[in-house]
Structure 1
Amino acid sequence: MKINPLLFVIGTSYLLPLAGQATEQIKLGHRVVSVIQQDGLLFKDLNKDETLNPYEDWRLSPEARARDLLSRMTPEEKAGVMMHGSAPAPGSIIGIGSEYDLTASAAMIIDERVNTFITRLSTEPAKLAEQNNRLQEIAEGARLGIPLTISIDPVNTYRYLPEKTATPDAFSKWPETTGLAAIGDENLVKRYADIGRQEYRLLGITQALSPMADLATEPRWSRLSGTFGEDAQLTRRMVRGYVAGMQNGTSGLNAGSVSTVVKHWAGYGASENGFDGHSVYGKYADFSGNNLDEHLIPFTGAFEVNTAGVMPTYAILKNLVYKGKKIEQVGAGFNHYLLQDLLRQHYKFDGVIISDWMITADCVDKCIHGHPEGEAPDPSSLGMPWGVESLTEVERFARAVNAGINQFGGVTDTTPLLKALKAGKVSEEKINDSVRRLLEQKIALGLFENAYVDVNAAKKLPNAAWQQEADRAQRLSLVLLEKKTGVLPVKARTKVWLHGVNADEAKKAGLVVVDQPQKADIAIARIVAPFEQPHKNYFFGAQYHEGSLAFRNDDADIAAIAKLAEKMPVIVTVYLDRPAILTPLRDKASVLIGNFGVSDAVLFTALMDNAPFTGKLPFELPSSMASVLKQHSDRAADSEHPLYPLGFGLK
């Protein structure tokens, strides 16, 4: 029996408990399809045939529903499920903006049959929630009504901007994951992820492209700040807590989960010279120390709590021989040994393997040589087919699927995959296995029953109580590296000279901000770890911090701090997005604090509250670039005579 939903409720969702029924009616949400009544219960008519099909029956298991849906799908629809695109915004194919390009989105969803997208919108919470609802409405109108999985990269990290104290969006702002590792509390990481889960679900986001389980053994690596550091067992525990919190439990996905995609399997943290695998000049990970085993340990934390997904690294594990086997010199997304022999067979991972972005795209011209001088690099030049550059795009799709990839990141064009299937380069069995896995997870997340969110509930974000917890974590993550007596705690009404610190926050904290250094009792300086950008003509090279970890001899911040130190005590905090060589500061700073993302308000609290510092370094800080150049990129904490060793921290 087909029923008009407006007979029961006005809106997009409702809960209808029916007396005398053994099964309790669950909440349905819809804008396009009608509902069917059967056995006194209501179900969505997703394929619009006025019949309750098994995949529409929420009483059945995800496995049974996925099998039924799979049997109804065309090859084109199956290929669409295996794509993970970027939800486009006007003028931005990668989705940078405040709203979606709904016309372009509809073409991807309806014509290409794609139903997984990463969102990169930046807008107020209610608008983001409604924009995601608009995408779901398009998907609901497609032939089979398959809902979208909307994913997101990490957004819960505090980014310091001198002119303001927080980024204005929906999300609580915590320290970087390196800062969470500095705290070292698995339960706190679980709480952090649980709060992130709730924020995501309120906005219609159901997949986290995180956490990074990469072991940060190469200190020059551009993406080190997204890791939990270089202690393998600590990282394992942190990853375990993250997945458990984000997935709303330890036994797999449920209707309250945000599915996690743990990345990047495996060895990414040993990136050669610290250059990143997004770019052709960074396509290798250096395993001259033959230490892959240690890089695998962190992932076991995710497997212990049933992570939904794993994303392989871009990198080629250079010249690695592992357990007597020479590892093929191709990126992990094409590497049968890494994905099948290790991940599937040895570690028994049974979830979804999602490729990193654009591994099947060509890398030619500007991708190889960079953009010409005067031209701003843009993502149109990108492609990351490392080790299989000589293959055609169709052959790369086939190679990746046969290696174990279930879904392709950054792709919406299904044509090459369909050609590979038609040519017999990929079997129908392989395609069906991938689609089944992906559909089961969508069903387990509750998306087939209700993919819409309450826009009014989203208006409650950002949540002040959650931000208080995040602020506490920022405070706990601070690592005290040097402390001369008599400087801390800083007392109210102290006259301070500020360098790189927000004066308004200092005044709110009860300090007196002076306009000339000679009037100050102390100086407080905020600086960042040194970096170089030798590849600014590449899209990612223009964004990433690369090169030396040492301050230049003419560094303006060091010169300013040295001059101030001649006259007064100087408190210095350094943002450690990479392991800075702090040798020039050791004898100049009366107090030296490593931070991993901290607001000025929290910083002043830490300087004035007289509470002990409990944070410990999640990676060692080397004493010189000479020691960095001597160490193995794939081995943890192996530099000679580090200035501050792994786990260091004063109270």
Structure 2
Amino acid sequence: MQPVRLVSADGVEFRDLNGNGVMDPYEDPRLPVGERVADLITRLSLEEKAGLLFHTVIEAAADGTVKEAAGDISKSPTSEVVRRKHLSHFNVHVLRDARMAARWHNNLQLLAESTPHGIPVTISTDPRHAFIENAGVSFSAKAFSQWPEALGLAALRDPAAVRRFADIARQEYAAVGIRAALHPAIDLATEPRWARQAGTFGQDPDLVTELGVAYVLGFQGEELGPGSVACTSKHFPGGGPQKDGEDAHFPYGREQVYPGGRFADHTRPFPAVIAAGTAGVMVYYGMPVGLVVDGEDIEEVGFGYSRQVITGMLREGLGYDGVVLTDWELIMDNHVGDKVLPARAWGVEHLDAHGRMERILAAGADQFGGEECVEVLLDLLAQGRVSEARIEESARRLLAVKFRLGLFDNPFVDEDRAAETVGRSDFREEGHTAQARSVTVLEAAEDGPAALPLRPGLTVYVENMSPDAAARLGTVVTDPHDADLAVVRLHAPFDPRSDLFLESWFHQGSLDFPPGLPARLARIAAHCPLLVDVALDRPAVLTPLQPITATLLATYGTTDDAFADALTGAIPPCGRLPFDLPRSMEQVRRHPEDVPGYDDPLYPFGHGIQVR
């Protein structure tokens, strides 16, 4: 198949998407978006309109072809969901090679061009420019330039740097055909046990707001257009204050609580991001418990089912008329191998799939995340439980974004340009610099071998660093007795879990290191000064490390090579904590889940010793 292009009688090149040889209004690139949407809506079948309301997972074949068999996570062959179910919004998972990713995207667009009205596909993605590999949240960078997690961008305290990152990510996404970002996460990291903090900008509402706006502007520009990647800002009305820090992906984490009365803090970033033009807003899984807003009791159902939240707070309260997307799989259970993840029908578990979908639409959402059960929506229409006018309302919003992105006029990408753009050397260098700069110095030796920047000529004992990066710190020895300095890199602790699908990828539970670790490090520190780095994908209780370390650092996604640059002063570290670090788990357990920070933290938000 080849893209279908014709020239109209008055000399305008257009894509003949419905194959009738005439430039219909929706195919006319000169017309305003509103007119094109209005024309196309009148042409679509009920099935085509219904398909627009689904946004599900898709997997790309490694050779650049579309997958025609169910994948590891995707449920159906590609041609079935595009041609029979009329889906045109897909969240892509693993992409390893830029050229093959571009080829796959073009093949997918050619498949979409063969549908009755040639509605182009919108490819979306979770974040894929950092380190965390979690199919439910984000992907590691692979071919793309690699940057610190969002917490590390927050540690830089630099909106211009965040906007620059977003602009680079935009260029790399667009080069392979990704035109929608299922981010930024503008949730507040107020509950230190919560598993999703790495993707946030930390605990402070003002900082999160400032960086969230910079992020959206970097991806979308001042207005959504053919060069943009459309952002979906999430998770309204603010994820994060989960009861006991458990995650709302899972039944035991469904409750979202506000014992400190700080609901307004969690919604604060959204008005500014909406004003910046975010193309979409995603509502969270969480089910509020005991929440009262402006004297009104908020129903204890997941936010995606709540008309009070979506229509009342978001659409009427904040005046938002863009796309509202639910988080993933609120309607159907997800079966992958021998693992099952129940539908996140929190508070409405008693409803069947039809009832759940009906409630989501009544709440005011436009699109069902992670679903492809088109037959359920068509049943609701046939039964008169949902009107065609209601479907059209959402379809118009979704089509408008496609038109603004220029997908109807040219959705295809250039393979050579994709290969040149993704992971470009200067993009990688900027990501590397951001990683090193985001390193946060919590404790710093004033002199001696552990003082920063490290002096040349040291003998060093090293744990959890690559040999090449370790060699940049000095002469590497295998016994602390023979070392001037010990350098140890650690990951923040968590309690492994694996009973449910996705669960093993989420770092949840206690923030305490196992007691044997500080004891072992103390034995090392008895022989030479100890420099410890803790990679924080969420806070950790560092109290046992404080008395035994000469220099204590925090990172948020930093390669060994970038870490070596920070230690040696090649790129001086300047990060500041994006959240408080607690003194103990007892302090965490006593702390209200919705309140930013502690009265007496071990290290406070904003702490970071500046090294010159």
Partner letter of residue 41 of structure 2? L
Aligned match of 1:198 in 171, 177, 181?
171
In 2: Cα distance, 1:37 partner to 1:470 partner: 46
Q: CA deviation at 1:43?
A: 1.1
> Matched residue of 1:497: which SS?
strand
Q: CA deviation at 1:493?
A: 3.0
Aligned ranges 1:556-575 → 2 under 5 Å: 558-575=518-535
Distance 1:470 1:88, change over 3 A: closer
Aligned to 1:477: 438
Q: CA deviation at 1:646?
A: 1.2
Aligned ranges 1:488-527 → 2 under 5 Å: 488-507=452-471, 509=472, 511-527=474-490
Aligned to 1:228: 201
Aligned match of 1:644 in 598, 603, 608?
603
Distance 1:168 1:334, change over 3 A: closer
Aligned ranges 1:46-125 → 2 under 5 Å: 46-88=17-59, 104-125=77-98
The percentage of counterpart residues that share the same residue type is 37
Partner letter of residue 395 of structure 2? V
Q: CA deviation at 1:268?
A: 1.4
Aligned match of 1:250 in 190, 198, 222?
222
In 1: Cα distance, 2:442 partner to 2:326 partner: 39
Aligned ranges 1:147-162 → 2 under 5 Å: 147-158=120-131
Give yes or no for contact 1:89–1:95 (8 Å, CA) kept in 2.
no
Distance 1:95 1:289, change over 3 A: farther
In 2: Cα distance, 1:629 partner to 1:640 partner: 14
> Matched residue of 1:501: which SS?
coil
Q: TM-score, normalised by structure 2?
A: 0.94
> Matched residue of 1:560: which SS?
helix
Q: CA deviation at 1:640?
A: 4.3
Partner letter of residue 578 of structure 1? R
Partner letter of residue 280 of structure 2? G
Give yes or no for contact 1:362–1:385 (8 Å, CA) kept in 2.
no
Q: CA deviation at 1:539?
A: 1.5
1:31-79 CA-partner distances (Å, limit 9, x unpaired): 2424132312211110001111100000001111011101101110001
Q: CA deviation at 1:350?
A: 1.5
Q: TM-score, normalised by structure 1?
A: 0.88
In 2: Cα distance, 1:610 partner to 1:199 partner: 27
In 2: Cα distance, 1:641 partner to 1:234 partner: 21
Q: CA deviation at 1:614?
A: 2.4
Aligned to 1:9: none
Q: CA deviation at 1:491?
A: 2.3
Give yes or no for contact 1:344–1:350 (8 Å, CA) kept in 2.
yes
In 2: Cα distance, 1:320 partner to 1:170 partner: 44
Q: Which consecutive residues of structure 2, in runs of 5 or more, have no partner in the other structure?
A: 62-66, 134-138
> Matched residue of 2:554: which SS?
strand
> Matched residue of 1:583: which SS?
coil
Partner letter of residue 56 of structure 2? G
Q: Which consecutive residues of structure 1, in runs of 5 or more, have no partner in the other structure?
A: 1-29, 161-165
Aligned to 1:614: 574
Aligned to 1:543: 505
> Matched residue of 2:228: which SS?
coil
Aligned match of 1:530 in 490, 493, 497?
493
Distance 1:614 1:57, change over 3 A: same
Partner letter of residue 316 of structure 2? Q
1:340-381 CA-partner distances (Å, limit 9, x unpaired): 111011111111001111111258xxx9xxx9xxxx753x54
Partner letter of residue 405 of structure 2? L
Aligned to 2:14: 43
Distance 1:503 1:648, change over 3 A: same
Distance 1:250 1:89, change over 3 A: closer
Aligned to 1:452: 412
Give yes or no for contact 1:279–1:540 (8 Å, CA) kept in 2.
no
Give yes or no for contact 1:530–1:549 (8 Å, CA) kept in 2.
yes
Partner letter of residue 239 of structure 1? G
Q: CA deviation at 1:510?
A: 5.8
Are 1:259 and 2:255 matched, yes or no? no
Aligned to 1:584: 544
Q: CA deviation at 1:411?
A: 1.1
Give yes or no for contact 2:436–2:572 (8 Å, CA) kept in 1.
no
Give yes or no for contact 1:125–1:169 (8 Å, CA) kept in 2.
no
> Matched residue of 2:592: which SS?
coil
> Matched residue of 2:384: which SS?
coil
Aligned match of 1:414 in 366, 374, 378?
374
**Cα RMSD (Å):** 2.1
In 1: Cα distance, 2:181 partner to 2:201 partner: 17
In 2: Cα distance, 1:350 partner to 1:33 partner: 33
Partner letter of residue 444 of structure 2? K
Q: CA deviation at 1:262?
A: 0.6
Distance 1:92 1:328, change over 3 A: farther
Aligned to 1:552: 514
Deviates more, 1:428-437 or 1:540-549: 540-549
> Matched residue of 2:452: which SS?
coil
> Matched residue of 1:188: which SS?
helix
Q: CA deviation at 1:159?
A: 5.1
Aligned to 1:395: 355
In 1: Cα distance, 2:550 partner to 2:98 partner: 42
Are 1:276 and 2:238 matched, yes or no? no
In 2: Cα distance, 1:227 partner to 1:126 partner: 30
In 1: Cα distance, 2:561 partner to 2:584 partner: 32
In 2: Cα distance, 1:159 partner to 1:362 partner: 25
Aligned to 2:136: none
Partner letter of residue 459 of structure 2? K
Give yes or no for contact 2:302–2:345 (8 Å, CA) kept in 1.
yes
In 1: Cα distance, 2:594 partner to 2:566 partner: 35
Q: CA deviation at 1:528?
A: 0.9
Aligned to 2:64: none
